[in-house]
Amino acid sequence: MSTPALDTTDRAIINALQGGFALSDEPYREAAEALGIDEETLIERLERLLAAGVLSRFGPMYNAEALGGAVTLAAMAVPPERFDEVAAKVNAHREVAHNYARDHALNMWFVIATDDPASIARVIAAIEGETGLVVYDFPKQQEFFIGFRVDA
């Protein structure tokens, strides 16, 4: 699938919504009005950008630990011929996010976020059981905030 060309409105949507989204009864309507478009157009364009892979996700970022949960970084050494199969199994877990391929012996890295700290071990054990591969757990030792913004 080829990446579609972005027009001025697509770029405005991407740039505007990286900085936040209204917490209100009608956040899409409010965002659309600020962009000078209607709510339906905004939603259709977001869906198109997601489907085309221009956006990898659109949604809130929660601090699982502040809500009583837990987060960890995990990695696996996946045989190249099994990478897609293993990625599908790993990504099927609702607790898994940010799954990336890396050029390293540990070539699959992903984040596990759970409702409670004990569930990290449960998810890791499930993935190991489903794939037959070891999941290495790299719990956070210190947190740094790095703001990241990409202007389209």
Helix axes 8-17, 39-51, angle to 10 degrees: 90
User: 9-51 has which CATH code?
Assistant: 1.10.10
Q: Which pTM was predicted?
A: 0.64
Work out the number of other CB atoms within 10 angstroms of the CB of residue 23.
8
Which tokens hold the place of 107?
């070539």
CA distance 71 to 141: 11
* Domains in the chain: boundaries: 9-51, 70-139
Other beta carbons less than 10 A from residue 2's beta carbon: 6
Q: Which residue has the higher pLDDT, 31 or 19?
A: 31
Which whole number is the average pLDDT over 100-126?
93
pLDDT given for residue 128 in this prediction: 98
CATH of domain 70-139: 3.30.70.3460
Q: What are phi and psi of 65, to 5 degrees?
A: -65, -40
Q: Rounded CA gap, 119 and 124, in Å?
A: 9
What is the C-alpha to C-alpha distance for residues 31 and 37, in angstroms, rounded to an integer?
9
* Least-confidence region, from 46-50, 73-77, 96-100: 96-100
